[in-house]
Amino acid sequence: MAALHDLSVADLARQLKTRDVSAVEVAKHFLARADAHQDLGAYLARDEGVTLAQARAADERIARGDTAPLLGVPIAHKDIFVTRDFASTAGSKMLQGYRSPFDATVVRKLAEAGAVTLGKLNCDEFAMGSSNENSAFHPVKNPWDPTRIPGGSSGGSAVAVAARLAPAVTGTDTGGSIRQPASFCGITGIKPTYGRASRYGMIAFASSLDQAGPMARSAEDCALLLSALCGPDPDRDSTSLDVPAEDYSKALGASLEGLRIGVPREFFGEGLAPDVRAAIEAALQQYEKLGARRVEISLPRTELSIPVYYIIAPAEASSNLSRFDGVKFGHRAKQYTDLVDMYKKTRAEGFGDEVKRRIMIGTYVLSHGYYDAYYLQAQKIRRMIADDFQQAFKQCDVIAGPAAPTVAWKLGEHGNDPLADYLADIFTLPGSLAGLPGMSLPVGFGEGGMPVGLQLIGNYFQEGRLLNAAHRFQQATDFHLRKPEGV
């Protein structure tokens, strides 16, 4: 029999339901694994007492015949979601030790579906970053090669799944933070259409872009979690869409015969590493074998997505992060002379370099005299990028390409060069700016034996179609089942 940590969410849920294994046993197994792999740095908070109490409650629900879909399945949350039972830090000193009086809607919905929380996962500070090195606490190591980064900002989330420290987790994606770490760690992750999941209790980075989504080993498992965490939240998030939750598992299984896969020419230019290109090419051929048809398309403003995103996201961040002033929550400087001095010292001490950089950029592009030149221009181009996708979707059903231009780089490799990180976001940013659903699934290996992810982008509300396309690929291949040595 497969070890508990190698079981899929679907299999675990089945075995829990038939009481072949108890939720308490499963939770203990994963907590022990997290202990044994602390060196990876995936977790920021765990509390055995809390987890086991939730597991016991799940066992009682099972005994009562409750049929919630994730009953007893242990998961962990990116530390950007606030939780009542664990500290919530967003990877920042500013919120070290912060306890929220409520659970984020996504956390609540997954708990209602029966999931048991193993703890909170490391991430870049306020989800700003592509390597998880911006965490104020400690870096996260990629289990495929511990000298490399796991990607970011949901790096702890991706590593927890890849190293079998949790069968599935939550992440958030503002400009690629689910898709890129999923790609770098050889797992599957999906960011739904903007507005599909509630942002209530998700510590805000860039509100017009932030979306929650699941990360797991397979599309099938992602479908289970996504069905549970999506849905309208009208009283708490006015941007959550008034569209009822869907059962994405029902979308799995449809044939790919005749599916038109759009391959954007701009995703295969100069910057794409040859090893990644080769793995993506092979994946596209596999799709053709499965009956899909390849169509060349163009997303002409792909390059502009970098300057546009790195104006809009910092602009929104500078506004969102003004709430951290030493008065309402989190850190407050110990010594200060007056109120303004308290604000200044609190923020100087509490925020890391990347966060400060973005607050400064954001404040600048929103300031009088520059607003029109930068922020307004960026908003206009954002609209054009979204329109480009609508043109493309006249010719194809899904868009496919690399999630990132290279495999995971070495820890410290980008050093003090934030632009190197920004540029590596080029393939995930366009879909984010357009608010489209996107996912990454493992399709091969590149330089150094590191995983390569294929990105699939769908039109609004096409999460089911994306998950099915990934699922069919995973039925025909075994990349999602491979695991790093020593795991």
Of the listed 78, 109, 141, 191, which one is catalytic? Answer: 78
Nearest approach in angstroms of CB 165 to ligand GLN is 21
Binding to ligand GLN by residue 173, rule CB under 6 A? yes
Binding to ligand GLN by residue 418, rule CB under 6 A? no
C-beta atoms surrounding 3 within 10 Å: 9
The answer to whether the beta carbons of residues 163 and 187 sit under 8 Å apart is: no
Q: Between residues 43 and 205, which has the closer beta carbon with respect to ligand GLN?
A: 205
Which range in 67-75, 173-181, 224-232, 440-448 contacts ligand GLN by CB under 6 A?
A: 173-181
Give the x-and-dash track for 218-257 against ligand GLN (CB under 6 A).
----------------------------------------
Tokens encoding 388: 């480009």
Identity of the residue numbered 403:
A
The answer to whether the beta carbons of residues 439 and 470 sit under 8 Å apart is: yes
Q: Which of residues 303-362 bind ligand GLN (CB under 6 A)?
A: 313
260-264 vs 188-191, strand pairing mode? unpaired
C-beta atoms surrounding 210 within 10 Å: 26
Give the x-and-dash track for 189-208 against ligand GLN (CB under 6 A).
----------------x---
Alpha-carbon dihedral of residues 386, 387, 388, 391, nearest 10 degrees? 130
Of the listed 130, 153, 249, 432, which one is catalytic? Answer: 153
Q: Between residues 127 and 163, which has the closer beta carbon with respect to ligand GLN?
A: 127
Nearest approach in angstroms of CB 128 to ligand GLN is 5
Nearest approach in angstroms of CB 422 to ligand GLN is 7
116-121 vs 451-458, strand pairing mode? unpaired
Nearest approach in angstroms of CB 298 to ligand GLN is 24
Question: Rounded CA gap, 305 and 23, in Å?
Answer: 45
Nearest approach in angstroms of CB 176 to ligand GLN is 5
Sheet holding 260-264, edge to edge: 43-45, 116-121, 74-78, 168-173, 211-216, 188-191, 438-445, 451-458, 398-402, 260-264, 293-297
Nearest approach in angstroms of CB 236 to ligand GLN is 21
Question: Rounded CA gap, 113 and 228, in Å?
Answer: 6
Nearest approach in angstroms of CB 404 to ligand GLN is 10
Of the listed 130, 177, 198, 227, which one is catalytic? Answer: 177
Residue carrying structure tokens 């306020």: 126
Which range in 127-135, 260-268, 273-281, 296-304 contacts ligand GLN by CB under 6 A?
A: 127-135
Q: Residues 6 or more apart from 419 whose CB is under 8 A from it?
A: none
Binding to ligand GLN by residue 130, rule CB under 6 A? yes
The answer to whether the beta carbons of residues 343 and 326 sit under 8 Å apart is: yes
Which range in 16-24, 40-48, 122-130, 344-352 contacts ligand GLN by CB under 6 A?
A: 122-130
Q: Between residues 173 and 220, which has the closer beta carbon with respect to ligand GLN?
A: 173
Which range in 168-176, 193-201, 256-264, 278-286 contacts ligand GLN by CB under 6 A?
A: 168-176
Q: Which of residues 148-167 bind ligand GLN (CB under 6 A)?
A: 153
Q: Which residue is nearest to ligand GLN (CB)?
A: 177
Angle between helices 9-17 and 219-229 (to 10 degrees): 70
Question: Which residue stretches of 37-170 are H helix?
Answer: 48-63, 105-112, 155-162
Q: Residues 6 or more apart from 119 whose CB is under 8 A from it?
A: 34, 43, 44, 45, 46, 47, 51, 76, 77, 86
Q: What SS3 class is residue 443?
A: strand
Q: Between residues 310 and 343, which has the closer beta carbon with respect to ligand GLN?
A: 310
The answer to whether the beta carbons of residues 146 and 109 sit under 8 Å apart is: no
Tokens encoding 83: 């939780």
Binding to ligand GLN by residue 175, rule CB under 6 A? yes
Binding to ligand GLN by residue 425, rule CB under 6 A? yes
Single residue of 9, 23, 128, 252 touching ligand GLN by CB under 6 A = 128
Nearest approach in angstroms of CB 436 to ligand GLN is 14
- Known catalytic residue at 177: yes
Binding to ligand GLN by residue 434, rule CB under 6 A? no
Nearest approach in angstroms of CB 139 to ligand GLN is 16
Binding to ligand GLN by residue 453, rule CB under 6 A? no
Cis peptide bond prior to 153, omega within 30° of 0: yes
Question: Rounded CA gap, 209 and 314, in Å?
Answer: 11
Tell me 192's DSSP state. Answer: -
Single residue of 51, 89, 170, 174 touching ligand GLN by CB under 6 A = 174
Single residue of 105, 132, 177, 406 touching ligand GLN by CB under 6 A = 177
Which range in 99-107, 126-134, 256-264, 340-348 contacts ligand GLN by CB under 6 A?
A: 126-134
**Active-site positions?**
78, 153, 177
Binding site for ligand GLN (CB under 6 A): 127-130, 153, 173-177, 205, 313, 425
